[in-house]
Amino acid sequence: MSALSQHFGLTSQEHHDFLYEWLANTAFGNGLEHSIYSPAKDREALFQIRQAILELDRAKSALSGAASDTVMFDNPDLAHWLLKLSEERDSFLSAIQKATDEIEGSNAPKGRERMNLDSISLVDAARQLWEVKKGAPAPSGPDLNPASQFADFLTDLFEEFDVEGSARAAFKAWARLHRSDEFTDKPK
Per-residue pLDDT at 48: 96
Per-residue pLDDT at 45: 92
Task: Say how many Å lie between the first and final Cα of the chain, rounded.
Answer: 43
Per-residue pLDDT at 182: 44
DSSP-derived letter for residue 161 is T
- Tell me which residues of the chain have a pLDDT lower than 50: 31, 181-188
pTM, full prediction? 0.57
Per-residue pLDDT at 34: 53
Going from N- to C-terminal start, the domains of the chain cover 3-36+115-181, 39-105
Per-residue pLDDT at 149: 93
